[in-house]
Amino acid sequence: MKIILLKKKAALFILTAAAAVLVLSLLLSATGAYVVFTGGTVRKLPVYSVETEQKKVAVTFDCAWGTEHTDAILDALARENVRATFFMVEFWTEKYPEYVKKIDEAGHEIGTHGATHSYMSKQGEGEIERELSSSAQAIEAITGKKTELFRPPYGDYDDLLVETAKRMGLYTIQWDVDSLDWKDLSASDIAMRVINRVQNGSIILCHNNGMHTDEALPVILDTLKNRGYEFVPVGELIYRGNYTVDAAGRQHAAQ
C-alpha cells in the first residue's frame, strides 16, 4: 500500500512540475522574451527594456499607416518637452517625407521598421540585408542622419534577424510596455495600461496613427513625469557596448 501511495505522489509531482513548466513557457513565448537551449545554444534577444537605477523611460511610435493623428502626437510631445523615438517603414517614409522631416526637426529619434512591414523571421539573410539597408537609406536620404535602431515588424524575429541587424550596426529594439493603441482602445484604457506597467528602463510601444493615442499621450506623459520619470529617446536609454540581455529581454551593463 505504501509503495502504491508513493508512486501516486511521484506521478502527481511530475505532472504538477510539467504543467508549471508548460505555463511558464507559454507566458514567456507570448512576449518573445525567452531563451531556447538546444545543444548548448541560447536564442538571441532584442532589447525589451533596460536595467537602470535611474527613472528613465522611452516612448516609441511605429509608423506604417497614415498620418491623421501624427500632428496631435507631435504637439503633445512638444508641450511636455519630450523627445521620442519613431520607427518608420520604408513605404511610409517615402509616402510622407514631410512628416519624416517634421519629426526629425522636432528633435525626435528615427529608426527603421523595415522596408515592407513583413514577417522578417521568414526571410533569408540577403533579403533581410536588403530590407534593412534600403529602409535605413530612405530615412537617411531625408534626414541626413545615420539610422542606428531597428524594430522588427509585428515584433517578429529570430536569431538570424538579430544577428544580421547587429552586423549592420543596428540595435534591435522591442518593448516591455504595450499600449495596445492599435486595438482602438479608449484613451483612458491606453493611458492606464501604460501608466500601470512602466518601470525604470521601460520602452513603451505606441503607434503614430492609433485612433486614441494622441488623446492618451498627455495623460501618460504628465502622470509619469509627476512620478519622477524622465523621457529619453531609445538611443539614449540603451547601453551601446559591454552589455548583456537576460532571458526577459532586459539589457544590463556588463559587470
pLDDT tens column, 126-170? 999 999 999 999 999 999 999 999 999 999 999 999 999 999 999
The arithmetic mean of pLDDT across residues 90-98, rounded, is 98
The arithmetic mean of pLDDT across residues 175-204, rounded, is 97
> How far, in Å, are 10, 48, 69, 206, 220 from residue 217 at the CA level?
53, 21, 11, 9, 5
Q: Give the pLDDT score at 188.
A: 97
End-to-end CA distance of the chain: 55
Q: Which residue has the higher pLDDT, 217 or 38?
A: 217
Please name which of 178, 220, 180 lies closest in space to residue 203, comparing C-alpha atoms.
178
Burial of 30 (0-12, 13-18, 19+ CB in 10 A): exposed
Burial of 35 (0-12, 13-18, 19+ CB in 10 A): middle
Residue 89 predicted with pLDDT over 50? yes
The arithmetic mean of pLDDT across residues 80-95, rounded, is 98
The arithmetic mean of pLDDT across residues 79-99, rounded, is 98
**Confidence label for 43 from pLDDT (cuts 50, 70 and 90):** confident
Supply the mean pLDDT for the chain.
88
d(CA 171, CA 150): 6
Q: From the CB of residue 84, how many other CB atoms can be counted at a distance below 10 Å?
A: 26
The arithmetic mean of pLDDT across residues 108-125, rounded, is 97
The arithmetic mean of pLDDT across residues 92-117, rounded, is 98
Q: Give the pLDDT score at 255.
A: 78
d(CA 135, CA 113): 8
Residue 109 predicted with pLDDT over 90? yes
**Confidence label for 5 from pLDDT (cuts 50, 70 and 90):** very low
Q: Give the pLDDT score at 31.
A: 36
Q: Torsion-angle region of residue 87: left (phi > 0), alpha (psi -120 to 50) or beta?
A: beta
Q: Give the pLDDT score at 21.
A: 40
Percent of the chain at pLDDT exceeding 70: 84
Residue 22 predicted with pLDDT over 50? no
C-alpha cell at 24: 511558464
The structural domains of the chain, ordered by start, are 49-253 (3.20.20.370)
Pick the range with the lowest mean pLDDT from 39-43, 95-99, 120-124, 145-149.
39-43
Whether the pTM exceeds 0.85: the reply is no
d(CA 108, CA 234): 10
